[in-house]
Amino acid sequence: MHIDHGREQIFEKGMASLDLSDLGVASPEGFAETLRDSRSLFRDHQWEDARALLDRVDPRLFFAEEARWKSIEPHWKRIRTIRRRAGFGDAKIGAGGIPSSVVWDVEAAYHDLLVAVGALPSLDLETLARRSLEARNRHQLRDIASAEATSISGRPAMTIKTWDRLSHGAARLSLFILSEGRLLRLDTGLGPFDELEGAFESVRASLALESSQGNGGGGA
């Protein structure tokens, strides 16, 4: 069974499940461009669209160290919660009339985020993959058992196997693909590992990525 959630595709067969997710932009330049586009929407009072655009970014990929994340987290939250902080309901979205103090507050948050993002180094695929796994497994005792560089449709890719740190059981597989500045991830979910591994390899072998140029969008 295939379940389409837009940026997340779920494949299920019996007790086994796989998730294919678009994790969003994977470069500081893409992050900064998204912030600028979001700020433009905010200035046009399109608050919902401004916040939705930020769904294309996982800031923890770039600010993985806790101290650096804490330094920008207030700015990120200020933008993400603009409607609630301004005290307006859905009916007021796009109607204008935002208090000047809130406008200044959010503008300052965009500015400070752009400054912080502008100082970020570019990240290679292995670093992005490891940070993504660390964020997902933040409250679990898991280690990387193996990592293998590969390619999918000419894009750099990496397959990583993780397991329980103590028992070396409960193995999971993840495939990361860097495609046109975005990070894609295929994960094994619940189910017997032998069955999941076969399904994972089958889906990985069938993946074909298209260029977004000229066709309005790319995908697998």
Minimal CA–CA distance to 111: which of 33, 26, 35, 24? 35
Residue 83 has a pLDDT of 61
**pLDDT per residue as tens digits for the range 79-97:** 988 664 444 443 333 345 5
Q: What's the rounded mean pLDDT across residues 66-91?
A: 75
Looking at per-residue pLDDT, the higher value among 103 and 176 belongs to 176
Give 162's pLDDT tier (boundaries 50, 70, 90).
very high
Give 203's pLDDT tier (boundaries 50, 70, 90).
confident
Q: Per mean pLDDT, which range of 124-128, 155-159, 194-198 is the poorest?
A: 194-198
Secondary structure letter of residue 220 according to DSSP: -
Residue 39: other Cβ atoms inside 10 A: 20
Residue 60 has pLDDT above 70, yes or no: yes
Q: How far apart are CA 154 and CA 102, in angstroms?
A: 46
Secondary structure E strands in the chain: 2-4, 8-13, 16-25, 142-152, 155-164, 172-179, 182-188
User: Amino acid identity of 75?
Assistant: H
Give the full edge-to-edge strand order of the sheet including 155-164: 2-4, 8-13, 16-25, 182-188, 172-179, 155-164, 142-152
Minimal CA–CA distance to 65: which of 147, 111, 21, 121? 121
Residue 171 has pLDDT above 50, yes or no: yes
**pLDDT per residue as tens digits for the range 16-53:** 789 999 999 999 999 999 999 999 999 898 888 999 99
Q: How far is CA 14 from the centre of its chain?
A: 28
Domains of the chain in start order, with CATH, are 2-26+123-206 (3.40.1000.10), 28-118 (no CATH)
Looking at per-residue pLDDT, the higher value among 180 and 8 belongs to 180
Enumerate residues 6+ apart whose C-beta is below 8 A from 141.
164, 165, 166
Q: Would you list the DSSP string of 150-187?
A: EEETTEEEEEEEEEETTTS-S-EEEEEEEETTEEEEEE
Residues present in the chain in total? 220
Residue 211 has pLDDT above 50, yes or no: yes
**pLDDT per residue as tens digits for the range 111-153:** 999 999 999 999 999 999 999 998 888 778 899 999 999 999 9
